Amino acid sequence: FTRYTRRVRIVGHDEPGRLVVIREVTAERQSERAKEAFVANVSHEVRTPLAGIIGFSELLLGREFTAEERTRHLETIHREAQRLSSLVDDFLDLQGMDQARFRIVPAKLDVRDVVRQQVSVYTGRDDEHPIRVRMPDAPVTTMADELRIGQVLGNLLSNAIKYSPDGGEVTVDVTTDDGIVRVEVADRGLGIPPSHLAHVFERFFRVEHEGHERIGGTGLGLALARELVELHGGRIGVESTEGEGSRFWFTLPASG
């Protein structure tokens, strides 16, 4: 109780001891629940690609296929293995940041190149999510780690697609103003309820999108994106309307 009392004195209330205790317990229970959900989410995120890898390799080993079918199945195995690999990478990156082992390697970079590269990864994956890009004609230069900024943008793009289960255009806008480069990724998907908006960049946090519980994830992607953008001296944020769509953006300092 002394712990709470001390806390109460610091915030300068007279007798709000009980309130503080309740808050403490609620926070503890919430983080306990988030951890349980996280373990369940990660298990699912590991199991799903593993099931694909095992299933399709058994299929290939079981009988002869045409060259075309073979390639298609191998592509599935490759894609699922990459999914697993990026899950492990996210963990290791966050752990590296916690232990201050993480380094970015900034170099002069035209942000338009990163956008073109990432958009090409996600273009044509399905017909339901056309990607429209608007960028200045002139180079948009910044000092940044190309791989890491690509990772941030890739994350926003894959979320825009993943959380638009009914399809809809995804737009990417690059602008530069007053020494700041701004990249925005907008979708016409599920959107995020106002009460959850402030939390989406927290580790493990996942919104429960009603009726779309099957959309998988770990809740690490945006937390990592925020750390990466902030390491570059930029900011990240989101505006969203539930049922209409979301607009995620990040900024980077421009360099001449």
Cβ proximity to ligand ADP, 76 vs 86, nearer residue: 86
From 30-38, 80-88, 127-135, 213-221, give the range in contact with ligand ADP by CB under 6 A.
213-221
Q: Which residues inside 156-195 make contact with ligand ADP, applying CB under 6 A?
A: 159-160, 163, 187, 189-192
Q: By rule CB under 6 A, what string of x and - marks binding of each residue 215-234 to ligand ADP?
A: --xxxxxxx-----------
231-238: long-range contacts (C-beta < 8 A, 24 or more apart)? 231/102, 231/104, 231/148, 232/104, 232/106, 232/142, 232/144, 232/145, 232/148, 232/149, 236/152, 236/201, 238/192, 238/197, 238/200
Residues constituting the chain: 256
Cβ proximity to ligand ADP, 218 vs 251, nearer residue: 218
User: For residue 107, what are its two tokens?
Assistant: 């170099």
Which residue has tokens 């170099």? 107
Helix (H, G, I), strand (E, B) or coil at 165: coil
Q: By rule CB under 6 A, what string of x and - marks binding of each residue 81-110 to ligand ADP?
A: ------------------------------
Least CB distance from residue 206 to ligand ADP, whole Å? 3
Least CB distance from residue 231 to ligand ADP, whole Å? 17
Cβ proximity to ligand ADP, 111 vs 222, nearer residue: 222
From 21-29, 105-113, 126-134, 199-207, give the range in contact with ligand ADP by CB under 6 A.
199-207
Our CA angle for 217, 218, 222, nearest 5°, is: 95
Measured CA distances, 101 to 65, 106, 123, 233 (Å): 47, 16, 34, 18
Cβ proximity to ligand ADP, 135 vs 192, nearer residue: 192
Cβ proximity to ligand ADP, 151 vs 218, nearer residue: 218
Within 13 Å and on the Cβ side, how many CA atoms surround 36? Answer: 6
Least CB distance from residue 161 to ligand ADP, whole Å? 8
Least CB distance from residue 241 to ligand ADP, whole Å? 10
Closest residue to ligand ADP using C-beta atoms: 217
Paired residues of 251 in beta bridges: 182
Our CA angle for 206, 212, 214, nearest 5°, is: 80
Least CB distance from residue 85 to ligand ADP, whole Å? 15
Alpha-carbon span 66 to 91, nearest angstrom: 38
Confirm or reject binding of residue 246 to ligand ADP (CB under 6 A).
Answer: yes
Paired residues of 183 in beta bridges: 174, 250
Least CB distance from residue 220 to ligand ADP, whole Å? 6
Q: List residues binding ligand ADP (CB under 6 A).
A: 159-160, 163, 187, 189-192, 200, 205-207, 209, 217-223, 246
